[in-house]
Amino acid sequence: MGGAMKFQYASGSRPLEGFTIKRGIGKGGFGEVYFAASDAGKEVALKHVERNLEVELRGVSQCLNLKHANLIDLHDIRYDEQGEAWVVMEYIAGASLKDVIDRNPNGLPKEELESWFRGIAAGTAYLHDHGIVHRDLKPGNIFEDEGCVKIGDYGLSKFISCSRRSGQTESVGTFHYMAPEIGKGAYGKEIDIYALGIVLYEMVTGHVPFEGESSQEIIMKHLTADPDLSAVPQPYRGMVERALRKDPEKRFKNVSEMVALLDASKVNVSVKTPATGLEIPIPAVPQPSRLAGHGVPERTVQATVTIVKEAPHYIGDDEKEMSFGPVKKNPKKTQIPPVRRGPNGNAASYVPAQAVSYAPGSYRALPAAPRAEEPIASAVNRGLSNFGKWWNSGGTPLKIVLIVGFVIALIFAWPWVIPAAVVLAMTYVVYLGIWLVVQATRGGAMTETFPVEGRYVTWEQQYRSVLRMKTTGDRVGELAGSMLASAAIAAVLTVVMSAIGGGEWADNSANKIAGPAWLWLTTTLGSWTLLTAGKFWEHTTGEQVRRRFALLVIGLAFGAGAFVLNRFLMVDLIGDGSMQINSDNPISRNMVDASGAPYLSCYVAFFAGLFVLMGWWKQTDPLRTSRLRIAPIVLTVLAAWIFSMIFRFPLPWGLLMAGAISTTVQLASPWLKPQDRLAIRQRVTQGRA
């Protein structure tokens, strides 16, 4: 389980005037939690908001005046001499629901389970009644205090964490309890009902319904998988099934409906028109004396739920993080259009017009009617599309064999391939100009304008929002795994490259393994730099200019590193010179020595050009259509060939390294499997994602 947690303040410290710290009791994304006593002797819990972010403090301020037996009291917000904020709150000495579940790995006894659930429901209903969405309901935030259930952390919900058992809990929808719609940023109290369903399932079975080895896997299950309810008896099964529906509109409308299924005879539900804001009573919630093993007399809790027309307060989202914001209303249309296809034919979900920057009812030009397609380009596109479908359905070993064969053929055919390509390109340019002139004389299509009622978000955009929810720890963990895989893949490709290169360096290099060692090191290091950049770019499409500039810098540094490694290992890349380029162009004249061996400037220019030209982030994108795509590899090798011609980088090593790096980063980087991709598309199409 690891060692004891270390805290910033020791016992007896007085960082906040009027309070003495007794001991540290927990840590979270907001900071540290201490058990303390006031100068008058009152025991309290102090939460040190280390980041001192305004949004967290605003959330606490909204909750200071909430009073309910099933909520931990928030007393005040105080500031120390350094200006850092402390939340003074009720101290709960009892066990958390997480501790109780840990002691009951096969599920809680029925009486104890229902006692916990009714207390949680009463407290959650009170929050909803006062326009607050908790957003982080989970066993670690629910406690027992002398037989009464207490909900905590309803004012500091901001950050995200993968672990439901760790002391390093960072709130706001811990992944195991997070509703699917949180990634879209438009949600309300339905996410608390979803979390209640997860907590109920965990109390019944002893484990959560959706588990995985990474946060991404857990989120994918929330988006696409249905929970296994075979081990959940009635009436809990019906409650969990409805609470965990992907579409929030199909869940319980309020907590009262959920409790009604537990025991209809004990819950008197009286629902009227939501617009009236009439109250729905939840009867007194008895807390049995055996709750959490304490012999405490029964207590009674009374709560009331009010259905209000206005949407509750909840924490809004932007692209990078979640924060407290004003009340947001989901705009309602008289008629919601069906799900349509977004860009590139992908299924898209509807987002109301108020979510866009332009005003509803405004007019914007839609794309013109399709023009006639240029026949040669159309035929080539169809051919490439058909080949791409075949390639995506093929196995990885076959792809590797084809790539190696293509590279070998390219090496032996290069003297006539470039001239032929230049002639064909010039011919096509002349033809295309004539064709465009002919098409222009026929007149262009009229551009129509239509009222803009909304925009459509593709499933790729929705999944990008899921990727944004990853913690830094998740990203680093995935990157480390990709780096280890890339080192192994580079080792295999080094054997292939050495076989293709033959004995070019065997006689002149320092030793027989210097050449292969240099190939492996450069391929591995090049892959690592690109995997690192791709990992921190995967959650957004980004701005190409900035990304290419970053790749330019990476290419310059990598080129210098490859040169240093070459000199250190004393690797001869020229051999007998039979495969080298003998052109004496002004650009490369000062980049190689008399024998053709490249200087530092040649390395730097070659790799900087190769890195900046290719869209490497697309090759590491988890949403790419296939784990290993041949087109990027071919284009990368072709680009390396062109730069070898310009800068006289030794053949075939520049081509081989370029192809090896492209292959390695694709095989080593994460990739969304076809079945997961299809499941997300189906959810979006059905309006459930």
Q: Which helix (H) or strand (E) holds 647?
A: helix 630-647
pLDDT for residue 652: 80
Crossing angle of helices 630-647 and 396-441, in 10° steps, is 80
Has residue 58 got a pLDDT over 60? Answer: yes
Q: Which two structure tokens, joined as six digits, stand for 125?
A: 């209903």
> In this model, does residue 314 exceed pLDDT 60?
no
Flag whether pLDDT at 293 surpasses 80: no
In this prediction, residue 417 carries a pLDDT of 64
Residue 338 has pLDDT above 70, yes or no: no
Longest dimension (CA), the chain: 96
C-alpha count within 13 angstroms, C-beta hemisphere, residue 346 = 22
Mean pLDDT of 401-424: 69
Of residues 121 and 276, more confidence is placed in: 121
Which residue in 601, 603, 612, 599 sits closest to 639, CA to CA? Answer: 612
Residues 6+ apart with CB under 8 A from 349: 339, 456, 457, 459, 462, 684, 687, 689
Q: DSSP state, 574?
A: -
pLDDT of residue 438: 72
d(CA 191, CA 248): 8
pLDDT digits (tens, 9 = 90+) for 584-621: 666 666 787 777 788 888 899 999 999 988 888 888 88
Q: Which H or E run includes 680?
A: helix 674-685
Query: Is the confidence at residue 447, as pLDDT, over 60?
Result: no
What residue ranges define each of the domains in the chain, with the CATH number in brackets?
Answer: 94-324 (1.10.510.10), 472-676 (no CATH)
Phi, psi of 157 (to 5 degrees): -85, 110
pTM of the model: 0.49
Q: How far is CA 484 from CA 38, 477, 481, 657, in A?
A: 53, 11, 5, 18
Most confident of 25-29, 130-134, 154-158: 130-134
Cβ atoms of 564 and 511 closer than 8 Å: no
Per-residue pLDDT for 276 more than 50?
no
Residue 507 has pLDDT above 60, yes or no: no
**Cα angle 414-415-421, degrees, rounded to a multiple of 5:** 75
Omega of the bond prior to 397 within 30 degrees of 0, cis?
no
Which pLDDT band, with edges at 50, 70 and 90, does 441 fall under? low
For the chain, percent of residues with pLDDT exceeding 70: 64
pLDDT grade for 415, boundaries at 50, 70 and 90? low
Using CA atoms, how far apart are residues 308 and 676, in angstroms rounded to an integer?
A: 38
Q: Residue 153 has what pLDDT?
A: 78
Q: Give the rounded percent of residues in the chain with a pLDDT score beyond 90.
A: 24
Stretch among 220-234, 431-445, 556-570 having the lowest mean pLDDT: 431-445
Tokens of 414: 């290069």
pLDDT of 575 strictly over 50: yes
Q: What is the pLDDT of residues 454-489, one digit of tens each?
A: 445 566 666 666 677 667 777 788 888 899 999 999
How far is it, in rounded angstroms, from Cα 225 to Cα 218?
A: 10
Q: How confident is the model at residue 197 (pLDDT cuts 50, 70, 90)?
A: very high
- Pick 148 or 319 by higher pLDDT: 148
Greater pLDDT, 505 or 681: 681
CA distance 152 to 127: 11
Give the pLDDT mean for 358-382. Answer: 55
8 A C-beta contact, residue 523 and residue 661:
yes
Least confident stretch, 111-115, 286-290, 526-530, 575-579: 286-290
Residue 419 has pLDDT above 90, yes or no: no
Q: Which pLDDT does position 585 carry in this prediction?
A: 63
Which residue, 180, 201, 188, 178, is CA-closest to 245? Answer: 180
DSSP 199-246: HHHHHHHSS-S---SSHHHHHHHHHHPPP--TT--TTHHHHHHHHT-S
Give the model's pLDDT for residue 93. 85
Model confidence at 6: pLDDT above 60: yes
Query: What is the rounded distance in angstroms from the CA atom of residue 151 to the CA atom of residue 161?
Result: 19
Query: Strand, helix or coil at 34?
Result: strand
Q: Categorize the per-residue pLDDT at 306 as very low, low, confident or very high, splitting at 50, 70 and 90.
A: very low
Give the model's pLDDT for residue 667.
92
Return d(Cα 160, Cα 331) in angstroms, integer: 27
In which band, very low, low, confident or very high, does the pLDDT at 666 lie, cut at 50, 70 and 90? very high
Residue 117 — pLDDT band, cuts 50, 70, 90? very high
